[in-house]
Structure 1
Amino acid sequence: MNAGTHPEPFQAALGLARAGYRVEYVSGSQVSSRSVIGRVLRLLKVGNSRVLQVPTNVRLRIKTRGLQAELCYLVRRRFGSDSQLESLRKRTTIVERFASKRIARTRDRMIVVAQNSCADVAFSATSTDDFRVLMQPIINDRSLVDILDQDAASSPHWSYALQYPNRELSDEDRRLLLAGAVVAGSNFVAKRLSEYFDGPILVSNYASVSEGIEATVRRRAGEGRLRVLFAGQVNQRKGIGYAVEACARLHSQVELVVVGPIGARMRAELSRYSNVNVRGPVSREMLTNEYREAHVLLLPSLAEGFALVGVEAMQTGLPCIVTENTGLSDVVADGLSGFVVPTADSSAIADVLSRICNDDELLARVSSAATLAVSHLTWTLFGDDVARGIDEISRAYWASLAQNSAPEQ
């Protein structure tokens, strides 16, 4: 089940269906392309994340409360007094209640796979015979709080822009207690999660949702500035402070282009830097254009899951400078297909940018390798990997239940 539009739960459902499981996918804001609503949305050219394409050779039932949940969400946002967070929570509640009723009515033994944002109610509705799988797209909240607290202490100037989780930590504890396994998008997420969860953790890297992207090798034209792109929410969890400080050290050698949602205080802060160009939120098409015009993508995040913006950039031939905490060190080989720097270290970022500025061949060499490094990432591979892992672990779980319930001889 999935209350939002994250692609990985649906791809896991497809993988399980291909593996022969009878699968029902419960969604709160997505509909099948075969449904009437899905056909209308396709005609209106609504984003692909809301209309699910089910291959004709895959048997998968989609049960959605998408229309009801989405209408409630839009009405509350437009005419009500709810904040966006409150509206999202109410949309999630509609999905959870629907899913829990279906789970409670089902007498067969089940595998319940749920996104972390909507797993609480669904897991609570299961029985001991059911196997519960939690999909964890980003680092777990307790680890995230630890990382953000450390950064607030070491970089107090940027602490106002730290993005703390808005969920109760006890809710996460309960989900992990009920889960029989967790699906993580990167080894970084798995490593931090293993401090709080002692069950099996399946690691499978996500794929990009972009299609038809043409890769071009990046080269610097003459002696112009190195164009560095920062794409994402403009806050300190994404490491914006370290990006700005690194580029300020090189000043006239680089231009930092900042793309993504940004608050008024942060916009005012960045306006003090002459080599920082704030673009703000852009469309998908405009973001693709930014990829093409940039020399390198800078992702200095303090905590992510598996930063898909980096995968998309690498598909275009745009090399990335990433921290291990982005999860992208799973696919970025330092100095070969990109650059991996320590977290919260603007000096290390500046050193890499300086190397690129002073080595005409380095950028082209790494750019060529970047595209190849992510060429194996497909949603089919992700879905099949997850299905294989869930099948193996759930069978072991049920075998253990059978053994423990068998009468002693």
Structure 2
Amino acid sequence: MRTVVAHGTGNQNVRELLEELTDAQILRLFCTSTGLTRPVASAASISRLANRRVFAMLSRDQLSTAPSRELVRQAIKKIPLDALSRQTDTGKALGAQWVAASTDKLAARRLRADDDVAYGYLGQSTSLFRRATRLGVATALEAHHVTVRTALRLLENERHIHPEWLPLIDTSTLAKHRESGVEEIRLADVIISPSSQVTESIREVDPHARVRQIPYGSPTTSTSHDPISWDGKEPLRALFVGRMQPSKGIAYVAALQHHFGSRLRLRLVGHRPRLDLPVMRRLISSAEYVGAVDRSMVFDLMRDSHILVLPSLFEGRSLAVLEALGHGLPAIVTAGTGTDDVVAHGGGIVVETGSEESLIKAVESVLNNPPRIEEMSTQALHTAQGNSWANFRTGVRETLEGLVRTHD
């Protein structure tokens, strides 16, 4: 069995897949933007980027790259915020999807008739799947997020709820890509979905799509972690991890900070928007803005916080929530995170998507009952141990093996 995988960067779910396929000796090629099979020692800025993209599980002949667009994208990120805010359209045009399109075309060129499976990701695999269909190669699509159609519907509602955040709710750009992913869904022989929200989103496009729901896992962490506790004498340390965008529920996080004031010590981890909005300035001035940091620092912050707050409108399955549970950090989430099933086991609180009132009530319930933090932390650690990446890896491999057996 020979599998070709394509992804623009190589997130944790991609790495877990590559580990499983290489262990089973069924990966022929991984196509991405930038990547190495071994770390490098060079100029600091180049070394940092390169070493974030090391795929040590691969041999050199299993890795194929198309780096030019990703290097341009990384260079754009270094433009000062004020200058970049005047180049919003350019920044969007030269973003992650632009990079992924190049990787998709690379994978299509490298696909061979004797390959068994072309494995791609939603919104990144049209060229690969078209060629696979012509060659008679089976296609597997991982829908790591909801469709653009679903995102548009949810963001249109948000425009009316939080008009002050309107400049960040760019439905016009999304509308141009409304059909993104639709052709891939229809060309896919099987679709891997990490959450019920994504599965429902796929069904809206094609009710007859062959979907396998295989959740992402929590990271393997030290079993010696003690549960997190809070005595209620200091402000509750709340952590937000993710891009500070409406889709991640940043307007609801701002409402939390405004409502609770000094009772809450809010820390924000992630990229801030390029547009300089008054509501964003107020949020950052009243919270602790950490910015984008590497995963090791995120994990340190998780162990130094009392609660994760992530009221996303939509995602695939939030890795930040799964990582938080793995570090014993209770989470207050919406179904939009795609993790409501695991959090509902007791490692946090599930609140109504798009409801400030529901989110405020959840935080209030914790503020009024400090021992609850330790109770939820204990359950979070227990839940994470039973939700490892091994289940995802095995589930996907078995799905691909079954696909090859039945593919004409």
Length-normalised TM-score, structure 2: 0.83
Distance 1:323 1:194, change over 3 A: same
- 1:341 matched to 2:351: yes
Moved over 4 A (4+): 38-49, 66-79, 163-167, 208-214, 264-267, 270-275
Q: Distance in 2 between matches of 1:49 and 1:379?
A: 20
2:343 is equivalent to residue 312 of structure 1: no
* Structure-2 change in CA distance of 1:116 and 1:213 (3 Å): farther
Partner residue of 2:313 out of 302, 308, 320: 302
| Partners of 1:6 and 1:49 within 8 A in 2 | no
**Residue matched to 1:254:** 264
Q: Which runs of 5+ in 1 are unaligned?
A: 402-409
Report deviation, 1:186.
1.6
Alignment of 1:159-174 (within 5 A): 159-162=166-169, 164=171, 166=174, 168-174=177-183
Q: Which amino acid counterpart does residue 397 of structure 2 have in structure 1?
A: A
Give, as a single letter, the amino acid of the residue that structure 1 aligns with 2:326: Q
Larger radius of gyration: 1
Q: Percent identity?
A: 19
Distance change >3 Å, CA 22–CA 243, structure 1 → 2: closer
Deviations 1:130-182 (A, max 9, x none): 21111111111111111111221233233333254646223322111211111
Runs of 5+ unmatched residues, structure 2:
1-5, 80-86
Counterpart residue number, 1:3? 8
Query: What is the alpha-carbon distance in structure 1 between the residues aligned to residue 24 and residue 389 of structure 2?
Result: 15
2:246 to 226, 231, 236: 236
1:68 to partner: Cα distance: 5.2
Contact 2:217–2:388, Cα closer than 8 Å, also in 1: yes
User: What residue in structure 1 maps to residue 83 of structure 2?
Assistant: none
- Which deviates more, 282-291 or 123-132? 282-291
Q: 1:182 aligns with which of 177, 188, 191?
A: 191
* 8 Å CA contact retained: 1:213, 1:315: no
Deviations 1:293-345 (A, max 9, x none): 221110001111111111122222110000011001131126x2110000011
- Partner SS for 1:233: coil
Number of aligned residue pairs: 387
Q: CA 1:290 to 1:47, structure 2 compared with 1: closer, same or farther past 3 Å?
A: farther
Indicate conservation of the 8 Å contact 2:140/2:192, yes or no: yes
Quick one: which of 278, 293, 297 aligns to 2:304?
293
Change (3 A) 1:76 1:363: closer
SS in 2 for 1:366: helix
Correspondence for 1:26 among 9, 25, 31? 31
CA distance in 1, matches of 2:283, 2:398: 50
Write the mapping of 1:258-273 to structure 2, written as runs, cut at 5 A. Answer: 258-263=268-273, 268-272=278-282
- 1:374 is paired with a residue of what secondary structure? helix
Q: Which residue of 1 aligns with 2:120?
A: 114
TM-score by length of 1: 0.83
CA distance in 2, matches of 1:265, 1:86: 15
Distance 1:23 1:83 in 2: 36
Whether the 8 Å contact between 2:249 and 2:311 is mirrored in structure 1 is yes
Residues 2-401 of structure 1 aligned to structure 2 (within 5 Å): 2-19=7-24, 21=26, 23-33=28-38, 38-40=39-41, 44=47, 49-54=52-57, 61-67=61-67, 70-71=70-71, 83-88=90-95, 91-103=99-111, 106-108=112-114, 110-126=116-132, 127=134, 129-162=136-169, 164=171, 166=174, 168-197=177-206, 198-207=208-217, 215-263=225-273, 268-272=278-282, 276-284=286-294, 285-333=296-344, 336-396=346-406, 398=407, 401=408
Residue 257 of structure 1, CA deviation: 2.4
Contact (CA 8 Å) 2:66, 2:102: kept in 1 or not?
A: no
* Partners of 1:65 and 1:371 in 2: CA distance: 38
The 3 A distance-change label for structure 1 pair 320 and 22 is closer
**C-alpha RMSD of the superposition:** 3.2
Q: Secondary structure at the match of 1:169?
A: coil
1:227–1:257 contact (8 Å) kept in structure 2: yes
SS of the aligned residue for 2:34 comes to coil
Deviation at 1:30, TM superposition (A): 2.1
